[in-house]
Amino acid sequence: MPASVPDAGTCVVEDVTLNMDGTTTRKTLPKCGAGGTPCWRVVMQQSCTAVTPQGTAIVVDRGGQSTPPNTVTAATCSTQ
């Protein structure tokens, strides 16, 4: 991978769930390879070249399960 691609150690990936009472719950997802799902990894993805100069994407593996209801996945990565 090019040096400018975020490596797994520089990203925080979370499931953010909007609860019925209006509060949110955040669950940090581990990097894939640490065992179990859900987990995430950075991959090269041609379809992302229009939005990221590196052509990378963060992919969440949920082990065949759907994303929980009222949940979005948020990722923050540093390239330094």
pTM of the model: 0.78
Q: Using 50, 70 and 90 to split pLDDT, how confident is the model at 73?
A: very high
Residue 8: its pLDDT value, please? 54
In order of 1, 28, 54, 77, the CA distances from 4 in angstroms are 8, 24, 7, 11
CA distance 31 to 34: 6
DSSP annotation of 70: T
28 residue type, one letter: T
Residue 80: its pLDDT value, please? 65
pLDDT for residue 4 is more than 60: no
